[in-house]
Amino acid sequence: MALRGNLKDFSLPDVFQLVTFSRKSGVLRIKRVDGAEGSVWFREGDVFFAQSNWHAELLGERLVRAQRITAQALERALSLRAAEPADGRRLGQILVSEGYITPEVLESFVSEQIQETIFDLMRWDEGDFDFEATPQIAEEDIGLAVSIENVVMEGSRRLEEWTRIRKKIPSMDVVFKMATAPGEGTFEISLKPTEWNLLLLVDGTRSVAELAHATDHTDFEVARVLYGLFSAGLLEFAGDEEIAKLRAEREEREARAAAIESERKSVEQAAVESERKSVEQAAVEAQLREAASVTEPPAAPAAVAPVPSPPSIPAEEPRFLAGPASAPTAEDAAVLEEMMGAVLQPSTQPTTHVREPEPAPTVVVPEPEPMPAFVAESEPEPEPEPEPAPEFVAPEPEPQPELELPPAPAAVEPAAVEPEPLLEYAPAEVFEPEEIAPLAIPEPQAEPEPEPEPSTYAEDDTLAQIQASLAGLAEMPASAALQPEQTAVSDAGFERNLMALGLGELPVEVIVPVPGAPEFDEPVEPLGVLADEPVRAADRFAQLVESFDLAGSEPAARAASAPSSAEGFAQAAIEPAMSDLNQLLSSLDADGPAPGAPSASLYQAMPEATFDFDEELLREVSPPAPVGGVISTDSYLEDIAGGDMDFSGGLTDELSALTGLGRPTRPTASVNKIPEPTSATDVLRRDARVDRDTLLKIIDGIKNL
Amino acid sequence: MQSVKVVVTGPFNAGKTTFIKSVSEITVLSTERQITDSSGEGAGETTVAMDFGRITVSDDVVLYLFGTPGQSRFSFMWETLSEGMLGFVLLVDATAPQTFEDARGMISFFTEMSDVPFVVAANKVAADDVSLLQQVRADLGLDDHVPLLPIDARDRDSVKAALLGLLYEILESMSA
């Protein structure tokens, strides 16, 4: 049976449908008058092969273009194919059998080739077709089965699109050029790589077909991209005269480029030839020297290795190895630390300094391990000239467990010893409970008994002894008192920088509580310390003793561990205060309770922190938490102020610096409440040193980031 | 070397640390702590003290960026951090309208406390999402003259644009 006709009468999809429905096997051949031919092979209604000589891309070329095989592999496979008989293996089978590609890759590419061929054939408007039914066509059958329905559907879509494209690109011989005046809308066009690659080749000389060949794409793909570019206004048609002129220029350019390339190759060839000659010359010289060495044995060692060694190339060093490492400088870190110190001033000073051995006669530096306080036998280096010990120095070495001072680190210097203490605080340590804990007074739980063990001193005698020791301390010369630590002097230039930033304003207020404050760079009297006023230390210590009594501790017990020197007094005076501050700062570090939660929850949320206040006492003294959930500084101060307890002047200053107490409009620290704005007279102003030129410089710097 | 200061503030979890990290030439020094769900404000890390970044804009000028802690319980630091600043960037997470009330309070606090210009940077907003920007402006109660800039705090160029917006505001205030 033969099915013959013309595509003018029956479209190709109609013919495909007829063959498919009849489940026929055979070959459909289509021939146009211009010589273009195509054929489609069917097996029981399914297409298993198709080929065409119209804009066809052979299987081997497809594989090379897809970089599945190399051109050399294709050349070898084609040579093998030529050696095969006419009914021998086909190219795909040879590529598989030679191991260049797998059967799966071959099937994928053949399937794609079949579809592309059918798509091309469906674009034919005319041509005679002839279907020849053959029961077996083993030659072309590699086992593929392409559903003709899907191919027809996709072909129909492409055909519809092709019809639309043909309205603007009527022929594959059309030549485009770049638009001389693209429309405004073209400024925001974003191109895909394929489109950009094609646009680069549009120079007014290449036709659509030539562009398809140059880019290894099908006519349809190229025409579709050009259709989009043309519709967007990026392209326009080139006239015949313009095409001729541009093609002439292009040929001239290509000829010039070819000449340059030829010259380059000739130079390279000459260089290679020259090098080869030099090597040969060297070899000849080596042979001559070797021959000479045979006659003159002693000179033989000098004649070896005649081959010129290649010029030594210095080892390339990565740039990042040569350059300095980029990291935050110490000054950057210091600025942050200073700012932290300005905000959280009196917290971690004792933990940041390593105390140096001082000539102070009676200072006892505790060992890192827990030890009974002020036991003279445990001193690592006994003082050569011990100070006359006060009469209440514990004579017995037995430690009092509940009175045992925590293992104070080596940096137990009070904050006040530092001339400018706020400049030395490490911000990260402010929030570290483990850093705070060693300085805190033992927790209430550490004292299971309400009554401590009987001390060797009567309770009523303690204050008298303290008074006596303080009297002795008052008579001490100022030189015997603690001196400001000389090693912790911060960089003056950096401090000025801080002042310029406005970061030093708060600390100065705190450090200089009295009028006539020293200048920023001058030594400042240490915070709450007794550089030259031992009496103040005595008063402070007495107040601290009272405050401990209020906190539930036993004064006598405290007195048993009292220091025996001026520095000891100072240390004892500062440590409880620092404990309070550390507790306060711990409340800042801990996660705050949910709004409305009682303040006790905050206390319970910090198991690592130590407190020197009895928990029950804190609950009783603290007023009911406001609805807003005031959690930290304000409520804490209210607790303190509500009782009979009072801090010494230095400690109050520190708390004021931390919380803003005493300022006309200090910010509050409530959960839900935003701080009240300051009054009009306290409006902060911009850094007055920044002028317009500086600002323009900053803007340029930001732009060039 | 002259140092100038710009403050980056905003509600909790608005992206201030990320903002500074995007443009800082040094590793941003932050003091952050893990937060838990018990705080009721989210999870992850939050800045309990401040962020600190540096931009060397020229041989003789360094711009420091200070990020304030977002949680209002650390608001006592705001005033200290703000002293001497050129201006401030108020950063809000445009996708978290529940934080807008805090942002309004911060705007009120900083504008009444200082006389420096400021811009509002809306994080997580596409540049062409005009409707969302209008909604953010309305929710924050911003005047028309206050710049509202859509940014992506992770994007360096976006953060640069916000800083430049602030600097131009400062420049304009100098000219006025």
Position A534 scores a pLDDT of 43
Distances (CA, A) of B8 to A500, B19, B92: 19, 8, 11
Lowest mean per-residue pLDDT among A54-63, A111-120, A501-510, A620-629: A620-629
Backbone angles phi, psi at A48, to 5 degrees: -120, -5
Q: How far apart are CA A289 and CA A304, in angstroms?
A: 8
Q: How far apart are CA A325 and CA A297, in angstroms?
A: 58
- Report the SS3 class of residue A584: helix
Q: Which residue of A has its CA nearest to B46?
A: A591
How confident is the model over A650-663, as a mean pLDDT?
Answer: 44
* A332 shares contact with chain B (CB less than 8 Å): yes
Which residues, 6 or more positions from B147, have their beta carbon under 8 angstroms from its beta carbon?
B119, B120, B165, B166, B169
End-to-end CA distance of chain A: 79
Percent of chain B at pLDDT > 90 equals 31
Residue B163 has pLDDT above 90, yes or no: yes
Tokens of B175: 């000219």
pLDDT tens digits, one per residue of A140-166 = 566 667 777 777 787 777 777 888 888
Q: For residues B151 and B125, is the Cβ–Cβ distance under 8 A? A: yes
Specify which of A147-156, A599-608, B34-43, B55-64 reaches the highest per-range mean pLDDT: B55-64
Residue A47 has pLDDT above 60, yes or no: yes
Position A347 scores a pLDDT of 41
Lowest mean per-residue pLDDT among A25-34, A74-83, A250-259, A291-300: A291-300
Position A301 scores a pLDDT of 45
How confident is the model over A68-94, as a mean pLDDT?
Answer: 83
Q: Which residue of A has its CA nearest to B40?
A: A594
A interface test, pick of B23, B51, B79 with most A CB neighbours within 10 Å: B79
**Which of B5, B54, B113 lies closest to A683 in CB terms?**
B113
Position B33 scores a pLDDT of 54
**What's the pLDDT band for A190 if we cut at 50, 70, 90?**
confident
Chain A residues touching residue B112 (CB < 8 angstroms): 677-678, 683
**What's the pLDDT band for A374 if we cut at 50, 70, 90?**
very low
DSSP conformation letters of A110-159: HHHHHHHHHHHHHT-S--EEEEEE-S--TTT--S--B-HHHHHHHHHHHH
Nearest CA among A147, A145, A168 for reference residue A49: A145
- Do residue B108 and residue A670 have CB atoms under 8 angstroms apart? no
Lowest mean per-residue pLDDT among A229-233, A437-441, B135-139: A437-441
- Do residue B36 and residue A591 have CB atoms under 8 angstroms apart? yes
- Do residue A672 and residue B36 have CB atoms under 8 angstroms apart? no
Which residues, 6 or more positions from B111, have their beta carbon under 8 angstroms from its beta carbon?
B118
How confident is the model over A652-680, as a mean pLDDT?
Answer: 43
Distances (CA, A) of A408 to A166, A225, A312, A368, A554: 90, 79, 63, 6, 21
- Do residue A690 and residue B115 have CB atoms under 8 angstroms apart? no
Residue A483 has pLDDT above 50, yes or no: no
Position B36 scores a pLDDT of 52
Taking all residues of chain A, what is their mean pLDDT, rounded to a whole number? 61
Position A383 scores a pLDDT of 43
Q: How far apart are CA A139 and CA A417, in angstroms?
A: 101
If one compares B97 and A339, the residue with the highest pLDDT of the two is: B97
* B106 shares contact with chain A (CB less than 8 Å): yes
Q: For residues B81 and B23, is the Cβ–Cβ distance under 8 A? A: no
How confident is the model over A558-579, as a mean pLDDT?
Answer: 48
Residue A240 has pLDDT above 50, yes or no: yes
Partner B, chain A 625-664, Cβ-Cβ below 8 Å:
631-633, 659-660
Q: For residues A350 and A574, is the Cβ–Cβ distance under 8 A? A: yes
Lowest mean per-residue pLDDT among A119-133, A563-577, B74-88: A563-577
* DSSP category for residue A280: H
If one compares B171 and A552, the residue with the highest pLDDT of the two is: B171
Percent of chain A at pLDDT > 90 equals 0
- pTM for this prediction: 0.30
CA A646 to chain B, closest CA, distance in angstroms equals 23
* A330 shares contact with chain B (CB less than 8 Å): no
pLDDT tens digits, one per residue of B54-104 = 888 888 888 989 888 766 666 677 777 788 889 999 999 999 999 999 899
Q: How far apart are CA A308 and CA A99, in angstroms?
A: 44
Lowest mean per-residue pLDDT among A468-482, A639-653, B35-49: A639-653
Which stretches within A169-238 are classed as H helix?
193-201, 208-215, 219-232
- Do residue A605 and residue B50 have CB atoms under 8 angstroms apart? no
Specify which of A214-218, A234-238, A431-435 reaches the highest per-range mean pLDDT: A234-238
- Do residue A668 and residue B75 have CB atoms under 8 angstroms apart? yes
* A18 class by beta-carbon count within 10 Å (0-12 exposed, 13-18 middle, 19+ buried): middle
DSSP conformation letters of A413-428: --GGGSSSGGGG--HH
How confident is the model over A373-388, as a mean pLDDT?
Answer: 42
* B76 shares contact with chain A (CB less than 8 Å): yes
Q: Which residue of B has its CA nearest to A658?
A: B76
How many Cβ pairs within 8 Å bridge chains A and B?
Answer: 206
How confident is the model over A591-612, as a mean pLDDT?
Answer: 41
ipTM over 0.90: no
Taking all residues of chain B, what is their mean pLDDT, rounded to a whole number? 83
Residue B23 has pLDDT above 70, yes or no: yes
Which stretches within A454-550 are classed as H helix?
459-474, 492-501, 505-511, 534-550
Strand-pairing partners, residue B35, are B44
**Sign of the alpha-carbon torsion through A173, A179, A185, A188:** positive
Which residue's structure tokens are 């036709």? A207
pLDDT tens digits, one per residue of A509-567 = 444 444 444 444 434 333 433 334 444 544 554 554 454 444 444 444 444 444 444 44
